[in-house]
Amino acid sequence: MSKEQLLRWLEEQPGQFVSGEKLSQHLQISRTAVWKQIKKLESEGYVFEASRRLGYKFLSAPDKLDAGLLEQRLETRRFGRSLHLFEEVDSTQNVAQRLAEEGAPEGTLVIAEQQNNGRGRMGRGWVSPKGKGIWMSFVLRPVIPIHFAPQLTLLTAVALCRSLRRLTELPIGIKWPNDLLIDGRKISGILLESTAEDARLRHIIAGVGISVNLEESDYPEEMLKKATSLRIASGGKLERETVIADFHLEFERLYDVYAAEGFEPIVTLWEALSVSLGKPARLTTPQGVIEGVPVGLDNSGAIKVQKPDGSVVLVFSAEMGEVS
């Protein structure tokens, strides 16, 4: 209890030193106990200035997601309304999957400050450092045939791209199928995992990772060529609760459009935001490599690629790279 009281007392006097003597009197604990509580708070990410003569001055609190603030920011009806916020998990995908198996409603949202085993597409890992990004997964229960599930990956990319562009005014584009890029560098990844039974779709877990407030020092040197964050690109920190809330609002709107009108409107929006169309590409598919120019999206969510002989093929799943 005294730790919280101590913090409140110091936070209420920003920019001012409070002496150890005063703190110990106010909290009725020894000065050594005050010092111990300060050390505990520092290990949680709070920053104080300490002076032997003057005492302690509160400088800053750790960047922690605030469930109350997120609720305040949310304008959705269903999405994000059932919120599970964790300090650390293996992967939010696993937690959301378990909740979905237990019957969690559509829109149930799992967020973690940190993942110790985050995963990306194609069996890759996903680095998810503490307090700086958004690592979240949510439950979808669409009534669609299972082979339409990839459409929702593209819908998620469109929703995220539109909301981040609106918030940051950065020139963010979508690289097929669902990476978000700024000037060729990745700022977000999307991973949808479907669960089916007897060829019927039971639910989908949509996972979204957004590099929001990561700094250059958070990336290994070689990664800075391929990855960036909204903070690096815009030069300023963003409130993560606002980013989550705005994405959910956009997602809910597009999901409703999709339920009412099908995939076609989403295709139009995706094509307008794509940075893949019209640029020669090399697609590594499970069946082999295809070189050609992506020319549009098919209604199933596959990309249409025009080969050098003029023929157009559909590619459903691939790693897209530049032509060497």
Cβ nearer to ligand BTN, comparing 24 with 115: 115
Cβ nearer to ligand BTN, comparing 41 with 95: 95
Cβ nearer to ligand BTN, comparing 92 with 276: 92
Name the closest residue to ligand BTN (Cβ).
189
Residues with Cβ within 8 Å of 261's Cβ and at least 6 positions away in sequence, in order, are none
Closest C-alpha among 196, 189, 195 to residue 174 = 189
**Cβ at position 190, least distance to ligand BTN in Å:** 6
By three-state DSSP, how is residue 102 classified? Answer: coil
**Cβ at position 297, least distance to ligand BTN in Å:** 19
Cβ nearer to ligand BTN, comparing 124 with 202: 124
Cβ nearer to ligand BTN, comparing 77 with 225: 225
**Cβ at position 214, least distance to ligand BTN in Å:** 13
Q: What is the residue whose two structure tokens read 């007392």?
A: 9
Closest C-alpha among 295, 286, 273, 277 to residue 316 = 286
**Cβ at position 24, least distance to ligand BTN in Å:** 44
d(CA 115, CA 273): 29
* Footprint on this chain of ligand BTN (rule: CB under 6 A): 91-93, 115, 118-121, 124, 126, 128, 135-137, 179, 189-191, 207-209
Joined together, the tokens standing for residue 14 give 């920003």
**Cβ at position 118, least distance to ligand BTN in Å:** 4
d(CA 227, CA 140): 28
d(CA 171, CA 320): 20
